[in-house]
Amino acid sequence: MNKYIYIDESGDLGLSEMSSNVLVISALIADDPRKLDRVIKNARRHKFSKELRKAKEIKFNKSSPELRKHLIIKLNETAICSGVHCVLYKNDLRSDYLKGNKHKLYNYAAGKLAKSVTLEHCNVEVRIDKSKGKQILREDFNRYFEANLRDGSFIDGIKIFHSQSENFSGLQLADLLSGAVYQKFNNNDSTYVNLINQSTFPQYFEILWK
């Protein structure tokens, strides 16, 4: 059995007064990426063809409220995926080490996310939106994430890729999901999270450190 995990984030890693209150890292976990492709393709071909005509990819912060809601409802209907989210309240961060190293801070939050994912007897393909330019940073992330993903799970093999989100529907939908969660925890706006049907599209939230 194969599992596919797509990871994206909303918010920023800054700690200034101008920064976001939270960093959200979300994982969209799916059994069949072809069904995720179908969600995006149908939106492009039909109801939202005009809005998406010139868009290379779908991004939460560039999409209309109608498109955001439509995609969440369609994810509810696929019944082949779930979501896991790490919500990091930066004002409660006490570690000087993490405060001084944004890469380690991101890895730490992603590691907490990975530990919250429970998988049994499967091969896992992980794709994360390509943001780390240096190979050494990608390798550091891969090692840390894999170790935490294996903790508490029974996984046969893991492959981790850093990919351009425009090439993968799963990454675009992970961005949608992280944006929806960010609106709830940073802006006290539950409009999009409230559309998620927990029975067909279950979600888990790891909150640090509220």
∠ Cα 97 103 108 (to 5°): 70
pLDDT of residue 132: 66
- What's the CA dihedral at 23, 208, 94, 142 to 10 degrees? -70
Q: What is the pLDDT of residue 17?
A: 87
**Regions in the chain scoring below 70 on pLDDT:** 132, 210
Per the structure, how many domains does the chain have? Answer: 1
Q: What was the pLDDT predicted at 206? A: 96
User: What distance in Å separates the CA atoms of residue 151 and residue 160, rounded to the nearest whole number?
Assistant: 16
DSSP notation for 11-27: E-S--STTS-SEEEEEE
CATH number at residue 204: 3.30.420.10
Do 127 and 5 touch, CB atoms closer than 8 A? yes
pLDDT value for 130: 81
Residue 131 is predicted with a pLDDT of: 73
Strand bridging mode 81-89 / 22-30: antiparallel
How far, in Å, CA of 95 to CA of 103, rounded? 14
Predicted TM-score (pTM) of the model is: 0.96
User: Which domain does 148 fall in, by range?
Assistant: 2-208
SS3 assignment, position 78: helix
